[in-house]
Chain A
Amino acid sequence: MFAYLLRRLALTVPTFVALMFITFVAIRLVPGDPVEVRTGERGISPERLAQFRHELGLDQPVWKQFLDYATGLVHGDFGTSVVTNEKVLTEFLQLFPATLELAFFAMIFAILLGIPAGVVAALKRGSVYDQALMGLSLTGFSMPIFWWGLLLIMFVSERLGWTPVSGRIDLIKFYFEPVTGFMIVDAFLSDQAGAVKSAFHHLVLPMVVLGTQPLATLARMTRSSMLEVLGEDYVRTAHAKGLSPFRVVGLHALRNALIPVVTIIGLQIGGLMAGAVLTETIFSWPGVGKWLIESIGRRDYPALQGGILLISSVVIFVNLTVDALYGFINPRIRHGQ
């Protein structure tokens, strides 16, 4: 098991180096001079220009620039934003908890609704429930989530006035220092009356929007995995032993049906990060996805480069964790490798 994990970890190193190289080259290919972005359109003296180029390391040969960049990365230096002059890593770490909170609750939402929906559909196979649930799942799977977000804002926020349109909490009423970075948890820790409610109201629509596609996928996967398991001999045996249907489904069938579903949950993480870009843009949720899009608009290429590298690293790391977990749940994988 340990050797397997080590091998998987070793395999991610070349991926990471290649990723580093590609983002480095890609950003160099962007038309436009990063110095110009920093100094604006008005002309500056050649000496100042040369000084800027030197500060940014742009007067070095390209291989030296890459080497410097790689050395910096190893030391945790992901570059400096040319717009805010902040370290990219610092900015990322400030914003990442917001994305993490959103993704975490979206996944919880998807799991809590998707798995029961899949189980019900499998148990009532071919019934109206099954067809309705699978129809909904297909719709969710086909949904352009940016439109879904706009629709929900239109009805829930604008027409019904139930939830705010943007942000993470009512900043006029509540202020507290971040402790965990999860607004809901921080609001709870702050002991201010109504803070948790405000945070939840801000979270609920983005959570639903980001959770919709994983929800649809999970429902579908749980259904087909459950159908497969329900036909197995041990389920028939459990029935024959006279166990209650609840025990058979809940204990014998579901536990085995969930093994492939866990992988699916892991595979959704990359999609969640991509979906977060759209969701955060729609709801002005101050996370890394919105930051990434804004850094394109501001031509802040170091931020874009570092941001993409960091987001990809997160996804690679999560996939690795899921692999490890999967080996833990399903011993066949562990020994098969």
Chain B
Amino acid sequence: MASDTTQQPPSPLRAFWVQFCENRGAVAGLIVLLFIIGLAVFADWVAPYSPIEQFRDFTKLPPFWVEGGNIHYLFGTDALGRDTLSRLIYGARISLFIGLTVMVVSIIAGILLGLLAASVGGLLDVAIMRIMDLILSVPGLVLAILIVAVLGPNLTNTIVAVTVVFLPRYVRLVRASALSELGKDYVIASKVAGAGPLRLMLVAVLPNCLAPLIVQAALGVSEAILEAAALGFLGLGAQPPIAEWGAMLADSREFIRSNPWIVTLPGLAILVTVISINLFGDGLRDALDPKLKRS
């Protein structure tokens, strides 16, 4: 009975969740983000039409609440008569797919290269880090443009280009935190206990480097989405008729005077998605990594 007075410490997951919920912005971001993810996953059921179906009798319609709008096309149609709402919903799928793929690939590559550099050291370390410095010395979008210009503009190469641009920050992060962990007692203990280098890095060191990595990953998704949309806008990303938000904006440029709606909506979709991911990422940072907490 006496044990009732001593409180059980909350489980790490629960502690994290309580911390996370303290930040109202982060919760709002998470809700909006889940909504967008839902739209992207269930696009086939949610979207009223196919994103590439052309209704030639209903081109350049404004949204239904504006005069001249049509209730059948809630957010209006583009110059080819494609339903804007459907294209936006399928566009969420493309953008989130790009963002997540870039994040997963660059995290895995970043962990491998970062741990390799930290554990092997020497010439390999220098070589890896110099290559990363090299990538960092070229402005991100310019490097992505070079890569896409060489490989050819399409969705896959967009992902490749953006991944290369974002790789250095993961490698540097993993290497830096692994190096600071390597000198600690528990790692030495593990070494003394006979752990091999692979076990040492993956089982002992890596889990302790994860918190900043997760934070970086969340914020990296939003930047990847922005970067990919910029490539799409320049005509170097996903090619028509794929409903990609950046490419939709580029298509709509000539109607900026006559049909402002076609220009407004895709950009708004990008902005809302990126803001919600950033809010969520800020919340993650505050909850996971109190050291990094701003203010």
Cβ distance B67 to chain A, nearest Cβ, rounded Å: 17
Query: Is B226 part of the contact surface with A, judged by Cβ < 8 Å?
Result: yes
On chain A, which size bracket covers the interface? Answer: 35 or more
A45 → B minimal CB distance (Å): 30
B178 at the interface (CB under 8 A from A): no
The minimal Cβ–Cβ distance linking A316 to chain B, given in whole angstroms, is 5
Are A15 and B133 in contact, with the CB atoms below 8 A?
A: yes
Assuming A142-B271, A146-B246, A293-B145, is B234 touching A270 (CB within 8 A)?
no
Confirm or deny: B274 has a beta carbon within 8 angstroms of a beta carbon on chain A: yes
Report whether B146 and A144 are in contact in the complex, using a CB–CB cutoff of 8 Å. no
Q: Does B142 contact A (CB under 8 A)?
A: yes
The dominant DSSP class at the A interface is helix
Q: Which residues of B are found within 8 Å of A270, using beta-carbon distances?
A: 137-140
Of residues 175 through 223 on chain B, the ones whose CB sits less than 8 Å from some CB of chain A are 222
Residues of B within 8 A of A227 (CB): 295
Q: How many angstroms between the C-alpha atoms of A4 and B168 in the bound complex?
A: 25
- B145 touching A292, Cβ below 8 Å: yes
- For B295, the chain A residues whose CB sits under 8 A away are 125, 223-224, 227
Once the chains bind, are B274 and A29 in contact (CB under 8 Å)? no
Q: Are A15 and B134 in contact (CB under 8 A)?
A: yes
In the assembly, what is the distance between CA of A304 and CA of B150, in Å? 11
B212 nearest CB across to chain A (Å): 17
Q: Smallest distance from the beta carbon of A313 to chain B beta carbons, Å?
A: 9
Chain B proximity mask over A50-63: 1 for CB below 8 Å, otherwise 0: 00000000000000
Say how far B266's CB is from chain A's closest CB, in angstroms: 8
Q: Is the CB–CB distance between A141 and B150 below 8 Å?
A: no
Report the nearest B residue to A288, measured CB to CB.
B142
* A154:B263 contact, CB within 8 angstroms: yes
Given A30-B150, A31-B152, A150-B256 in contact, is the A277-B141 Cβ separation under 8 Å? Answer: yes
B233: Cβ under 8 A from any A Cβ: yes
With a cutoff of 8 Å between Cβ atoms, the chain A residues found around residue B274 in the complex are 142-144
Q: Give per-residue flags for A135-150: 1 if the beta carbon is below 8 A from chain B beta carbons, else 0.
A: 0001101111011101
* Residue pair A153, B256 in contact (C-beta under 8 Å): yes
Chain B residues, Cβ within 8 Å of A147: 249, 263, 266-268, 270-271
Cα of A315 to Cα of B135 in the assembled complex, Å: 12
Q: State whether A296 touches B149 (Cβ < 8 A).
A: yes
* Residue A256 interfacial (CB < 8 Å): no
B56 at interface by CB-CB < 8 Å:
no
Are A274 and B275 touching (Cβ within 8 A)?
no
Query: Using Cβ atoms and an 8 Å threshold, which residues of chain B touch A275?
Result: 141
- Contact call B278/A138, Cβ cutoff below 8 A: yes
CB distance from B193 to the nearest CB of A (A): 36
Find chain A residues with CB under 8 A from B240 CB.
none
CB distance from B271 to the nearest CB of A (A): 6
Which residues of chain B are within 8 angstroms of A15 by Cβ–Cβ distance? 130, 133-134, 137
Q: Is B236 an interface residue (CB 8 A)?
A: yes
A138 to B295, CA, bound (A): 15
User: What is the CA–CA distance of A281 and B250 in the complex, to the nearest angstrom?
Assistant: 11
Q: Give B225's nearest chain A residue, CB to CB.
A: A144
Q: In the complex, A127→B285 CA distance in Å? A: 22
Establish whether residues B142 and A308, one from each chain, have CB atoms under 8 Å apart when the complex forms. yes
For B135, the closest partner residue in chain A by CB is A22
Q: Within the complex, what minimum Cβ distance (angstroms) separates A327 from chain B?
A: 19
In contact, B146 and A154 (Cβ under 8 angstroms):
no
Evaluate contact between B233 and A271: CB separation under 8 angstroms: no
Task: Let me know if A43 is at the binding interface, CB within 8 A.
Answer: no
Residue among A15, A147, A148 facing the most chain B CB atoms (10 A cut-off): A147
Contacts of A142 in B (CB 8 A): 222, 226, 271, 274-275, 278
Is A86 an interface residue when CB atoms closer than 8 A count as contact?
A: no
Q: Does A258 contact B (CB under 8 A)?
A: no
B294 at the interface (CB under 8 A from A): yes
Is A274 a contact partner of B142 (Cβ separation < 8 A)? yes
Contact residues in A for B294 (Cβ distance below 8 Å): 220, 224
B229 proximal to A (CB < 8 A): yes
- Contact of B230 (CB < 8 Å), options: A27, A144, A304: A144
Q: Pick the contact of B146: A143, A146, A278, A308 (CB < 8 A).
A: A308
* 16 sample A-B contacts, Cβ–Cβ < 8 Å, listed by A number: A18-B130, A18-B131, A30-B150, A144-B246, A144-B249, A146-B249, A147-B268, A273-B142, A277-B142, A278-B233, A278-B234, A293-B145, A311-B138, A312-B142, A315-B137, A319-B137
Given contacts A223-B295, A271-B140, A319-B137, 18 further A-B contacts (CB under 8 A): A19-B137, A26-B146, A26-B150, A27-B150, A138-B278, A142-B271, A143-B271, A144-B229, A146-B230, A150-B267, A274-B140, A277-B234, A296-B149, A308-B142, A311-B139, A312-B142, A315-B138, A315-B139
List residues of A whose CB falls within 8 A of some B CB: 14-15, 18-19, 22-23, 26-27, 29-31, 125, 138-139, 141-144, 146-148, 150-151, 153-154, 158, 220, 223-224, 227, 270-271, 273-275, 277-278, 281, 292-293, 296, 304, 308, 311-312, 315-316, 319
